[in-house]
Amino acid sequence: MKTKILLLFTCLIIFSSFKPLQQSDDNQLYKVIIFKWVKNEKGEEQKKVVIIDQDGSLIVNGQNIKSKVDINAFAKAINKFIKVEKLVKEPAYNGPPTVATPPNNGEQSISISVTKLNDFNVEKEFDYNSRYFSKKIKKSSDGNIDIYKYLQSDDLKVLKKVIQ
């Protein structure tokens, strides 16, 4: 009997120490979308959509990939990005989606859209949730994206690999 209790107690301690990856504060992310639209000097286009969901999984151009980001570190970095870059929260709305502005030849348009989990949960009646939004037009040769400077090295490597 003592052995069974000891075994049960040991199992409870071991399994209770494992925590699933989940975000830890009120600034939880529902989804981050990075849209990169590049036009080279000849006018040839390349588009890439990267979605990071609430558990850190990445979806690139509609395909799930095996790489993930550390969602806690990533959420902290994104929240710092929002604060430092002074992104304004766009309200939720119904109606047609906003259309991306195409870049000129030799330019790239980079849009970053952040939807927080709390906003998603309270705005289910809207077609489009409120979001924090950033858009920059840069030379097509510029490989940096504004959020890169806020990310930890592991997450930075993952995103650079899928966004390039």
Global pTM reads 0.82
Give 101's pLDDT tier (boundaries 50, 70, 90).
Answer: confident
Element at 107 (helix H, strand E):
strand 107-116
* Domains of the chain: total: 1
Give 14's pLDDT tier (boundaries 50, 70, 90).
Answer: very low
**HEC letters along 43-56:** CCEEEEEEEEECCC
List pLDDT tens digits, range 34-88.
999 999 999 999 999 999 999 999 999 999 999 999 999 999 999 999 999 999 9
Per-residue pLDDT, 1: 55
Residue 101: inside a domain: yes
Residue 4: inside a domain: no
> Which domain range does residue 33 map to?
21-163
Residue 95: inside a domain: yes
Report phi then psi at 39, rounded to 5.
-125, 125
Average pLDDT in the 96-113 region? 91
Tell me: pLDDT of 18 over 90: no
